[in-house]
Chain A
Amino acid sequence: MHKKLLFWVALGLMATTVGFAQEKEKPKSVHELELEMEAEYRYFLDDAQFTGQLNHYPSFALRPDYSLEWNKGYESINFTGFFRLDRDDERTHWDIRELYYQKAKGNWELSFGLKKIYWGVAESNHLVDIINQTDAVETFDGEEKLGQPMAQFSYITNKLGTFEFYYLPYHRKRTFPGEKGRLRFGTVIDQDDLGYESGAEEWRQDFAVRWKHYFGIFDVGISHFYGNGREPLFVFDNQGNINAFYPVINQTGLDLQVTHDAFLWKLEAIYRNADAQDFTALVAGLEYTFSNIDGNGLDIGLLGEYLYDERDELSLNALQNDIFFGSRIAFNDVQDTSILIGGITDLESSSKIFSLEASRRFGSNWRAEVEARIFNEIDNTELILSNFREDSFLRFTISRFF
């Protein structure tokens, strides 16, 4: 229902901006339409822990992309849609990832509509990144996001960096797997069952600001968000009942990267404050790349990050005191072949998650990807992660771009 509303709001916005565009005399416009069709197959290695869950998940996804630019590219309308068909009814879903009008002039830029924003520098966890809701049924790493309605204003200064202001009039609820889905809790969470702390619910008017600058080898970002949290808060009472809702939060974030020779030193830290909870979390680490080792472009990068979350076992991503290590291998060949392997290990228990992501282009319009996530010796006391201990999986995708 809310999606429908979102759709009409977006469509109305587009109609207005297109009308606005046509008022200009003879705009020299450029438009592009693209479509990605993806076939996906997920195979879960172990028998399901909860009833209703399956082992084989063939799936199909569409990503149409349209952009219209005029005024030498300083004005544009951008659209990215998404649709997936899956055996899990909740993973079968569609979304408008982006649909916004943008205008840039001199040292400012303004955007209206549904948009995706990314903040942060770390690889294993994205703490600072808070503008968009996670499309949690899409990927395990949480990097897929739902389109966020916003007005965004960026002001660029030469000496003081860039200031960004966000007005976020509508909150989107996180997606959760359905009964047939893997990587869920024992109890199936219906996304509509989660309420809000705020009386205004999803229509609470939220705000965020961010300052980003760089000084030589330092890249610094400081951000603050005030509004409906993107992560639901799970509160357990004495009877063991779960009460989950979206709290009103204040979150201050810092992201810092020092780029020195082949070293990237990274830090992300947040302080989140709500009536029911306040905590700090951080991820700190480094990335070092041995480049062109064979004279043919082979790059091998080493990654190490430490993850801390004061919430301990209540942290939804289960990364409370962990070490991430990994390696990024890029062949820099014609097919852009790359491999990312890694593991996260808990410093206080036996829990480990191993992962592999590899991709390669075929011809000029095809791309294949392989992903593996292995849950190993997950400690039964892990409140969140223990639900996924039988959910090790392999994922294959083939995409055709039109």
Chain B
Amino acid sequence: MKKSRIFIPIIASVLAVVTMNAQSAEERGLQIAKTAEKADEGFGSSIVELKMTLKNKNGQTSERFLTTRTLELTEDGDKSLIVFESPKDVKGTATLTFTHKVGADDQWLYLPSIKRVKRISSNNKSGPFVGSEFAYEDLSSQEVEKYGYKFLKEDGDLLVVEQDPVDPKSGYTRRVVTYNQSKGYRLEKIEFYDRKNALLKTLVYSDYKLYKNKFWRAATFNMVNHQSNKETLLKFGEYNFGAELADEDFTEVALKRAGS
């Protein structure tokens, strides 16, 4: 009995080596990311309102309301338009982002007080988005090409993959991403490791809802910063996949209209 108990792990590891030869951890990681991307393909466009709650280490909170419009593109990265509804002194401030699979994203900022559109540098990936625990890179469209991959482990339905940002300007050395393969490869959790490879933040996705029998969208994102003990909670409203947005809804003209 004892012998066989020793034997099983050995057989298992031999099998694992065999499968790894057939498919390396890098290949499997990439394959999972591609499968996840494929699973979410075809949503076309969406509009969603969200509430962002910032919590400092003493538990004091402050809120922001935003509306996000997204246009799916397959040959290049998605386009997005984010409008601030509150706080009231920045109401109407809006950003238009064209994500690119390779190279820097294009981004414009609309300042409603002087009606000005300003092209801004997308260089600042690691900086916080409006004082929150989300960095700009955490909220940009997650394109497969932006990371290198390494499959770490399988735990029931959960697949854990390490992702290394291609861009040296990223604030992370790596992210450890948990996919749920039985739920359309939706994301369950991301752990972010800073430039010194210390655990910086954990993002947990919850309150998932299945739209159009295909697209999983989490209604709650909770980002906890382990180093500063600050927290940011995103609560999403109902996703609208029926607006049939087009390229014209993601232009400078549309950016000004959205912020007015």
Whether B130 pairs with A332 at a CB distance below 8 angstroms is yes
Which B residues touch A264, using CB under 8 A? 119-121
- A104, A117, A120, A364: the one contacting B62 at CB < 8 Å is A364
Whether A117 pairs with B115 at a CB distance below 8 angstroms is yes
- B89, B115, B119, B127: the one contacting A214 at CB < 8 Å is B119
Q: Does A269 contact B (CB under 8 A)?
A: no
From known contacts A121-B118, A262-B121, infer whether A162 and B253 are also in contact, taking CB-CB under 8 Å. Answer: yes
Whether B119 pairs with A259 at a CB distance below 8 angstroms is yes
Whether A336 pairs with B248 at a CB distance below 8 angstroms is no
Q: Would you give the 0/1 interface string for B16-38, flagging 1 where the beta carbon is closer than 8 Å to chain A?
A: 00000000000000000000000
| Cα of A121 to Cα of B120 in the assembled complex, Å | 11
Whether A154 pairs with B120 at a CB distance below 8 angstroms is no
Whether A72 pairs with B243 at a CB distance below 8 angstroms is yes
Whether B257 pairs with A334 at a CB distance below 8 angstroms is no
- A72, A73, A257, A361: the one contacting B89 at CB < 8 Å is A361
Pick from B87, B88, B106, B253 the residue with the most CB of A within 10 Å. Answer: B88
Give chain B interface residues in 39-73, CB to chain A under 8 Å: 54, 56, 62-63
Q: Does A53 contact B (CB under 8 A)?
A: no
Q: Does B116 contact A (CB under 8 A)?
A: yes
B245 CB, min distance to chain A CBs, angstroms: 10
Which B residues touch A236, using CB under 8 A? none
Q: Does A299 contact B (CB under 8 A)?
A: yes
B246 CB, min distance to chain A CBs, angstroms: 8
Which A residues touch B260, using CB under 8 A? 67, 76, 78, 102
Q: Does A401 contact B (CB under 8 A)?
A: yes
- A143, A261, A332: the one contacting B131 at CB < 8 Å is A332
- A34, A78, A262: the one contacting B91 at CB < 8 Å is A34
From known contacts A156-B251, A162-B253, A289-B123, infer whether A334 and B118 are also in contact, taking CB-CB under 8 Å. Answer: no
Which A residues touch B229, using CB under 8 A? none
A292 CB, min distance to chain B CBs, angstroms: 4
From known contacts A106-B248, A259-B120, A261-B121, infer whether A292 and B253 are also in contact, taking CB-CB under 8 Å. Answer: no
Which B residues touch A78, using CB under 8 A? 260
Whether A292 pairs with B254 at a CB distance below 8 angstroms is no
| Cα of A219 to Cα of B96 in the assembled complex, Å | 14
Whether A107 pairs with B248 at a CB distance below 8 angstroms is yes
State how many residues of chain A have any CB contact under 8 Å with chain B: 50
Which B residues touch A143, using CB under 8 A? 114
Whether A336 pairs with B88 at a CB distance below 8 angstroms is no
Q: Does A196 contact B (CB under 8 A)?
A: no
Whether A156 pairs with B115 at a CB distance below 8 angstroms is no
| Cα of A120 to Cα of B117 in the assembled complex, Å | 9
Give chain A interface residues in 248-266, CB to chain B under 8 Å: 257, 259, 261-264
| Cα of A117 to Cα of B256 in the assembled complex, Å | 10
Which A residues touch B89, using CB under 8 A? 36, 336, 361, 365, 367, 399, 401
Whether A289 pairs with B124 at a CB distance below 8 angstroms is yes
Q: Does B128 contact A (CB under 8 A)?
A: yes
Whether B124 pairs with A364 at a CB distance below 8 angstroms is no
B125 CB, min distance to chain A CBs, angstroms: 9
Which B residues touch A263, using CB under 8 A? 121
Give chain B interface residues in 118-154, CB to chain A under 8 Å: 118-121, 123-124, 126-128, 130-131
| Cα of A154 to Cα of B130 in the assembled complex, Å | 31
Which B residues touch A367, using CB under 8 A? 89
From known contacts A162-B251, A162-B253, infer whether A262 and B127 are also in contact, taking CB-CB under 8 Å. Answer: no
Q: Does A116 contact B (CB under 8 A)?
A: yes
| Cα of A297 to Cα of B128 in the assembled complex, Å | 6
From known contacts A212-B252, A364-B86, infer whether A292 and B121 are also in contact, taking CB-CB under 8 Å. Answer: no
| Cα of A36 to Cα of B128 in the assembled complex, Å | 28
Q: Which residue of B lies closest to A63 (CB)?
A: B113
| Cα of A263 to Cα of B89 in the assembled complex, Å | 28
Whether B253 pairs with A299 at a CB distance below 8 angstroms is no
Q: Which residue of A lies closest to B88 (CB)?
A: A401
A145 CB, min distance to chain B CBs, angstroms: 8
Q: Does A377 contact B (CB under 8 A)?
A: no
Whether B88 pairs with A292 at a CB distance below 8 angstroms is no
Q: Does B90 contact A (CB under 8 A)?
A: yes
Which B residues touch A297, using CB under 8 A? 127-128, 131
Which A residues touch B251, using CB under 8 A? 156, 162
Give chain A interface residues in 344-369, CB to chain B under 8 Å: 361, 364-365, 367
Whether B88 pairs with A34 at a CB distance below 8 angstroms is yes
Q: Does B184 contact A (CB under 8 A)?
A: no
| Cα of A274 to Cα of B87 in the assembled complex, Å | 46
Q: Does A190 contact B (CB under 8 A)?
A: no
Whether B124 pairs with A154 at a CB distance below 8 angstroms is no
| Cα of A263 to Cα of B127 in the assembled complex, Å | 17
Q: Does B165 contact A (CB under 8 A)?
A: no
Q: Does A279 contact B (CB under 8 A)?
A: no
Which A residues touch B121, using CB under 8 A? 259, 261-264, 289
Which B residues touch A120, using CB under 8 A? 116
| Cα of A78 to Cα of B247 in the assembled complex, Å | 24
Whether B252 pairs with A162 at a CB distance below 8 angstroms is yes
Q: Which residue of A lies closest to B227 (CB)?
A: A295
| Cα of A104 to Cα of B251 in the assembled complex, Å | 12
Q: Does A51 contact B (CB under 8 A)?
A: no
Q: Does A381 contact B (CB under 8 A)?
A: no
Q: Which residue of A lies closest to B249 (CB)?
A: A104
Which A residues touch B123, using CB under 8 A? 261-262, 289, 291
| Cα of A333 to Cα of B133 in the assembled complex, Å | 10
A–B complex contacts, Cβ < 8 Å, 13 sampled: A76-B257, A116-B115, A156-B253, A259-B119, A259-B121, A261-B104, A264-B120, A291-B124, A332-B130, A334-B62, A335-B131, A336-B130, A364-B63
**A contacts, CB < 8 Å to B:** 34, 36, 67, 72-73, 76, 78, 102, 104, 106-107, 109, 116-118, 120-121, 143, 154, 156, 158, 162, 212, 214, 219, 257, 259, 261-264, 289, 291-292, 295-297, 299, 332-336, 361, 364-365, 367, 399, 401-402
Nearest 8 CB-CB pairs, A to B?
A291-B124, A401-B88, A292-B127, A334-B131, A297-B128, A118-B115, A367-B89, A118-B116
